[in-house]
Structure formats: C-alpha cells, structure tokens
Amino acid sequence: MDVIEELKAVRGRDIPYSRVLSSMCTVPHPVAAEAHSLFIETNLGDPGIFVGTMELEKKVISMLGRLLGNKNAAGYISSGGTEANIQGIRAARNLKKVDKPNIVIPKSAHFSFEKIGDILGVEIRRAKLDENYCVDVSEVEKLVDDNTVALVGIAGTTELGQVDDIKELGKIAEDQNVFLHIDAAFGGLVLPFLDEKVPFDFEVRAVSSITVDPHKMGMATIPAGGILFRDETFLKALEVETPYLTTRFQYTLTGTRPGTGVASTYAVLKHLGYDGMKGIVRECLRNTRTLVEEMKTLGFEPVVEPVMNVVSFHARDASRLKDELYRRRWVISTIREPEAIRMVIMPHVNEEMIKEFISDFRQMLIR
Ligand code: PLP
C-alpha cells in the first residue's frame, strides 16, 4: 500500500469534527489552511533566516494586542495555551524574584497550571469559587502573601465559559503589587466580539499578560497559542542566550517553532476582519442557545446560563452518558463539580449537527 493511502486509512479512524462536541479546537478556516501550507517549512526559532515570517508575527501580536486593549503589546505565537500560561507565569516569577514564589489561581483554572507548579517550582494556591463558578475574590485576597508573584483570572473557563471579575482581581493585584495574568485561551477571541462588553483585557490597568489562542476560536491551524504581555520588559525577563543562531537571544519556551500558526492566524484575522469574526461568534452563540433549548426538552438544565459557547448540563451518571454517546460516535465531555456533561459549540457545530445529536441522544435515553 502506498504510504499516503496508509495515512488516509489512519485518518479515517479518527472521529470527524462533525461528531465532536467536546473540543475547543475546530476545523481551520480554509484561508488558514492555505496560509499554513505556504509557511510549512518556516522556523521562527531562527528568525534571522525567516525575516518575513518574524515581521508577520510582530504584526499578528499587534493585531491581537489591539483587539485586547493594547496595541503596544509584546509577545509571540506559542505552541498553545499551555505554553502561553507557562510563559506568563515564568515572566512574573523572573521579574518578582522572591525565594519561595506562589501564584493564586481560581479552582476553575485549566490543568496547565498543575504543570506550571511542577516545572517552575511555583506554589499553586487555589481560590474557591462563588455560586456562579467564578473565583471568589475575597478568597484570592486571603491567599496572597509576600511571596505571591501573580494572580490568575480566567476569561472563559474550560468547563463553563465563565469570566472571573477581572476588575476586582486588578484591584487586589495593584494593592498587593503583584502581576495579573489572564487566561483567555478560549475567551480572548470570543469576548471582544460580544455586544455586551466584559472587562477582561489590558484595558484593566493591572493586567500584565494574557493567554489568547488562535487555534481555538481563531480558527487557525494547530499549533497556534498566544502570549501577550503589556510591554517588552516581560519578554526580556524570559530571554536566554543563543550562541549559534542568527539572533543572540530567545524568549520563547520551545526552540524550533513553526511559522504556520502565525500565518494562519494572520490570514483569518485579515480575511474575516472584526465584522467577520463577530459573525462567527454570533453564529456559535445562536447554536449554543439552540442546543440549550433542545437539551431542556430532554430534561437537562444548564449549570449556568452560558455567556459564551461552552455549556455544561447537570446530569447524574455523566460519565456513563459520555461513554454511551461515544459508543454511538458522539464525543462530549464531563465535569466533576458539579457532576455534568459539557459541550463546546465551535464553528464546526451547525444547527443540523445539533438536531442529529439531540435525536440520537433522545433515542439513547428512551432505551
Ligand atoms: N487555558 C484554558 C482556559 C483552556 O481552556 C485550555 C485548553 O482547553 C488551555 C489553557 C490550554 O490550551 P492548550 O491545550 O492549547 O495548551
């Protein structure tokens, strides 16, 4: 068998996105796929060679920065939200220079923060959530001490899409003179396009860094995460010397890294523009409302009314439901607190797919 035929067969065993309601990734926009193939051999680990690609990255960071309230933001396109969060906290730790650094994060934070504690030797303090599953700011305040280097706020939690009170976190960060990192890996490319403005970005004065992932709602090709800092000083705090490359210093976590994410992010943002992105987000939210209405007819209530296109529904035996759906080739996920089934309504999820899912789910439930 020809190797390409072999590879096609392998891909055929993957579940297509048309059956996936659990992922924060999606089918890349066609313009992103085209841009990706144009930049397939680029390596931003050696920017002296890929001069054009490097300039494009600066442009992309400035576009994302403008969207997030700071056109002078510094940063880069990372391998994803995990790397972006690592680098956000690493910069804070390096700048603060305390003996036993700690960070205060919400209990709802993504599991990448577990890795951060381990890799960076930073103690992770988890603050409780309030009744809306947003971080309880008074709990955050109690956990801060002289060794705290940063607070973390989430703009679009992985499980429920909730947004923490970033303004209040900002007040604590200013009072205590600590950095404030915002994990907007998902929400960073949703919230700017909502009719109702939610404060979460650099417009909140205390915000020092933001994770924002184009390979999620930005419809860029994987991998394309983003770490944005308020200014260059944070990048300086990440630099190591690079003796044999075309540039002397490197602030990224990975060495060799693709320019494909940069090109595909640029392509989508430029091609769709603000209004085009707003249209995509509006459609995802419309589909989310349809899903919620349909799920209610099956007796499932959302844990919270979704602010964005992530929604979890109370369910007894959530794991069993997930497994049974998986056997029918539908992929959803579960959350533990409270026990619920979780769905993400990405751009590949359309009304027809929702109807098909609900119909299969209904049949499964009456058996
Ligand atoms: N932060 C949040 C809020 C997320 O939802 C995720 C992934 O879902 C991440 C960070 C990690 O992103 P990645 O999987 O791209 O490393």
What is the Cα–Cα distance from 4 to 1, expressed in whole angstroms? 8
The token pair at 180 is 């404030």
pTM: 0.98
Centroid of ligand 1 to alpha carbon of 167 (angstroms): 22
Give the residue-averaged pLDDT of 166-180. Answer: 98
So what's the ipTM on this one?
0.99
Is the distance from CB of 231 to CB of 72 less than 8 angstroms?
Answer: yes
- Residue type present at position 45: G
What is the Cα–Cα distance from 250 to 254, expressed in whole angstroms? 9
Tens of pLDDT, residue by residue over 267-310, are: 999 999 999 999 999 999 999 999 999 999 999 999 999 999 99
The token pair at 229 is 């800092």
The DSSP line for 234-246 is HHHTT-EE-TTSS
- 33-42, 91-100, 101-110, 235-244 — which is least confidently predicted? 235-244
Phi, psi for residue 173 in degrees, rounded to 5 = -60, -40
CA atoms within 13 A on the CB side of 88: 36
Is the distance from CB of 134 to CB of 164 less than 8 angstroms?
Answer: yes
Strand pairing class (148-154; 240-241): unpaired
Encode 274-301: b = buried (16+ Cβ within 10 Å), e = exposed: eeebeebbebbbebbebbbebbeeeebe
For 273: left if phi > 0, alpha if psi spans -120 to 50, otherwise beta; the answer is left
Centroid of ligand 1 to alpha carbon of 184 (angstroms): 9
What is the Cα–Cα distance from 78 to 261, expressed in whole angstroms? 8
What is the Cα–Cα distance from 58 to 73, expressed in whole angstroms? 10
Average pLDDT, the chain: 97
Ligand 1 pocket mutation pick from 20, 23, 25, 110 by most atoms within 8 angstroms of CB: 110
Ligand 1 pocket, residues with Cβ under 6 angstroms:
24, 80-82, 85, 110, 112, 154, 158, 183, 185-186, 213, 225
Q: Name the band, by pLDDT with cuts 50, 70 and 90, for residue 109.
A: very high
Centroid of ligand 1 to alpha carbon of 298 (angstroms): 30
Other C-beta atoms within 10 Å of 363: how many? 10
265, exposed or middle or buried, with CB in 10 Å at 0-12, 13-18, 19+?
A: buried
Centroid of ligand 1 to alpha carbon of 14 (angstroms): 21
- 88-92, 181-185, 238-242 — which is least confidently predicted? 238-242
Ligand 1, atom 13: closest residue by C-alpha: 81
Which of ligand 1's atoms lies nearest the C-alpha of 216? 15
Q: At what angle do helices 81-96 and 112-120 cross, to 10 degrees?
A: 40
Query: Residues near 163 by Cβ (< 8 Å), separated by ≥ 6?
Result: 134, 154, 155, 156, 157, 187, 191, 198, 200, 307
3-state SS class at 25: coil
What is the Cα–Cα distance from 137 to 223, expressed in whole angstroms? 33
How far, rounded to the nearest angstrom, does the alpha carbon of residue 309 sit from its chain's CA centroid? 13
Q: At what angle do helices 260-297 and 51-67 cross, to 10 degrees?
A: 40
Is the distance from CB of 73 to CB of 206 less than 8 angstroms?
Answer: no
The token pair at 134 is 């947003």
Tens of pLDDT, residue by residue over 175-215, are: 999 999 999 999 999 999 999 999 999 999 999 999 999 99
